[in-house]
Each structure stands twice: as C-alpha cells, then as structure tokens.
Amino acid sequence: MLTADMMARILVSVLGSGIIAMLISRRWNVSYVPLFVILGMIIGPVVTFIPRQYAHTVFDYVRVFGLVIILFTEGHNLSWKLLKRNFATIGLLDTLGLLVTALLSGWFFSLVFHAPFLIGFLFGAIISATDPATLIPLFRQYRVQQDIETTIVTESIFNDPLGIVLTAVAVAMLVPQASGGIFATFASHLNVYGGAVVYFLYEVVVSIVLGIAMGLFGYWFIKRTRIFDFPEIEIFGLALAYGGFLLGETLQASGYLVATVTGIVLGNYKMFGFSRHESASMLNRVMKAVEREVHFNETLAAIATVFIFMLLGASINLHPLVSHLWQGVLIAYFVMLVARPIAALPILKWWGWREYLFIAFEGPRGVVPSAPAALPLSLAMKYHSSVLTVQWGEIILAMVVLTVLFSVITETVWVPFLKKKLLQPETVQDRMAKHEREKQARKGA
C-alpha cells in the first residue's frame, strides 16, 4: 500500500534528483533526459530508495496526467502560419511516416526477439513519436534553417498524440478487453486488422472534432466570463485540458489528441476567425490571458517531464535491461538509421537530399514514448493475456528506455556535424529577409 510517507519520499527524491540533473546539464551542456532516466534508475532499482512497485504505481498516474498537460501546452505553442507553410511535409511525416516507423521498428523488434508481430508492433507504436525538445537550443545555437527547425518541431506536436492513438490500436489488437467495446464491434464486422484501421480513424476523427469544440468553448468562456487574471485563467485552462481528456476517453476516442487539438485552437484563436467580430481591447485581453495560462502550463509540463523520466528509470527492471543490452543497441540504432530515414523518404518531393537527411536523422524519442513505456507491463499484470505476458512487458519497457537514451544522446551529439555537412548557414539577417519576401508575396497575392 502506498502510504503518505512513501509518497513524500518519492516527491522529495524525484525533485531533488531532478535539480541535480539540471545542474549537471547546465554545467556540462548535455541533455537532461538521459540524466533523469539514469538518476531514476539509481534511486529506484540500484539503491532501492524508491521501491520499484511504488514507483510503477505512481508512474501509472503521472504518465497520464503529466502527458495531458504536456500535449495541451504543445498545442498552444504551434504556429498555424508555420504549419500551413510546411503542411505537406508535416502531414506525410505524421501519417505515413509514423505508420512506417512503427511497422519497421516492430518488425525488427520481432526479428531480434523472435516475438509475435503484434508484440513488436506495440513496441513500434510506442516509440513512433518524436520529441525534439532537447534539440531546439542546439538548432538555434548552430543556426539551423528556420523552416527545417519548424518542420521537426511541428511534426512532433502532431505525431505525439497520433503515436498514442497508434499505441491504443496496438493495445486493442493484443488485449481487446482493455480498449472498450468499440474496437470489438469494429472487429466483429471486419477482421482484427480491418477493425484496427477503422478504430484508428474513429479515434482520430472524433478526437479532432471534440478538440475543436473544446477549444471554441474555451475561447467563448474566457470572453464571456472575463476570466483574464490569476488564478481563474490558470484553473480554467487545467479544467479545459483534463475535461477534454475525460470527454475523449468517455467516448472511447483519444483524450490525449483531444487535449492537443484544444490547445491548438485556443493558442491560435486569431487564425480561426475570432478576431473579425471582436474589439482590439477584447482581443488584447484574451491574448494576455492565454499567454498567462500557457506560461503556467509550461511550468507544470516541465515538472511533469521530470517525473515521467525519473519514474520511468525507477520503474525499470534492471535484469532485462542488462541482459538484452546489445539487442537494445541494435534496435535503437535501427530506429534512428533505418526506420526513420525510410519513413521520411516521401518528403524528398519538397526538400533536397541534404535537408531530407538532416530531418531524417534528427527525430529523437523522448517524453511521449517514455510515458506509455510501462503500459504493456501494466496491462500484462492486469489482464493476464496469453500473448502480452509480463516478460514481454518487461522487455518492451527496457527497449523503450534504451531507444530513448541512445537516440537523445546520439542525435544531440551529431547536430553540429550534420549541420556543417548538410546545411547552409542561416543568419538572423537571412531570416528577416526571407520573412520580408514572404510578406511582400502575400501583399502581391
């Protein structure tokens, strides 16, 4: 039983270790993600300051509530104008690219471990989403072209929730009783794979519609009630995020995608025609209120990131991690060097091969793959599936951890090398000139 004293121990150890990791990251200019995971392993399975079963229990809640606020905040930060400029590239990477990454990674996992294909596909779905958060400071330090930076970052905003939807589909195929009745209904009229396709489309379409509706309601409510200041706007933002998540899950759609789309609509309210019927003063007050809410959510998202990575490390069983280390290295670099580049091939239609290679080799795995990493183990322990066993749950968890670690370390280290070999330098003046040309082109149109 998880006591108050144990919960306090978890909070103190995670927050204290998080500060240490951040100080090390700042001092030696290294990514904090591997440090969070490694320190989590130390306070968890290595010295057992946090018993693994308690870390796993808390992680089951943190990964849900933390991921909702992370995705909600990411949605706010999406620029609709920049999305439209690179829509074709991002659309392909987040649909066909996501699926190809999951299928190839799953196939290789099954090949390495002689696992059933659906077990491999579950692993592939979990690690299909990218997370370039650790790369953004490096992109700006080495002056990576803004269009390329925007493409990589915006791709992640959409493939995060879509990767979770794909994971839900894989879970439904493996453990139907864990996914509610809608998948069973689809599968009974079609076959398992046909039902999975329809279930994926249902989750995406229903979630997007719900997210748009929640975002419109959020804007209307802020304007109507005039909740522009602390603490009302912050509390309302949380209620909107988790309310959207609850509504999506209740309708057996994706609550995570609902929260993301809600954030996108609320963060880009000017682009959805709201400004045509509002006074300048009202728009200014709404803008400041949303900015205040976003800053608050960014703080919560940063705390959630620390807890997700720390508890991921504390939850892991070191035995499969160590005993399957070489398989983990193979799988991690297959994802980076084979699956991701193949999945990104269609963007060659719009990018030169040098830009394509840079985008293909800069797609590290991060917080979104880490959050559901322990889900297969939880499902195996709860439902006692004959296919998704505890052993496979432990192996998937270990392989996700290794893939995240190696991808973040490798893809941050080789940013300056890839930038020098593949891209032309872009100065601030170049960006300003490009922006001015685009502005003039829009006026001419």
pLDDT band at residue 278 under the 50/70/90 scheme: low
What span, in angstroms and rounded, lies between the C-alpha atoms of 122 and 167?
Answer: 6
Angle at 393 between CA 15 and CA 126, to 5 degrees: 70
Helix or strand or coil: residue 355?
Answer: helix
Residue 443, pLDDT above cutoff 70: no
pLDDT of residue 185: 86
Q: Which helix (H) or strand (E) holds 249?
A: helix 232-250
Q: How far is the CA of 171 from the CAs of 124, 125, 176, 389, 401, in angstroms?
A: 12, 10, 7, 13, 19
pLDDT of residue 242: 97
Give me the torsion for CA of 425, 431, 432, 433, rounded to 10°. 70
pLDDT of residue 187: 84
What is the tens place of the pLDDT at every residue in 165-205?
999 999 999 998 887 678 888 888 888 889 899 999 999 99
pLDDT of residue 445: 44
- Tell me if 339 sits within 8 A of 42, measured CB to CB: no
Which percentage of the chain shows pLDDT scores above 70? Answer: 93
Token duo for residue 358: 């840079």
What span, in angstroms and rounded, lies between the C-alpha atoms of 129 and 326?
Answer: 23
Cβ neighbours for 322, distance < 8 A, ≥ 6 positions apart: none
pLDDT of residue 442: 46
pLDDT of residue 176: 86
Q: How far is the CA of 288 from the CAs of 99, 234, 261, 295, 376, in angstroms?
A: 38, 12, 20, 11, 42
Reported as half-sphere exposure (CB side, CA atoms, 13 A), residue 216 has a value of 9
pLDDT band at residue 431 under the 50/70/90 scheme: low
Token duo for residue 338: 């084979």
What is the tens place of the pLDDT at every residue in 87-113?
889 999 999 999 999 999 999 999 999
What is the tens place of the pLDDT at every residue in 367-419?
999 999 999 999 999 998 889 999 999 999 999 999 999 999 999 999 999 99
Residue 434, pLDDT above cutoff 70: no
Query: CA 299, 302, 308, 314 torsion: positive or negative?
Result: negative
Reported as half-sphere exposure (CB side, CA atoms, 13 A), residue 78 has a value of 32
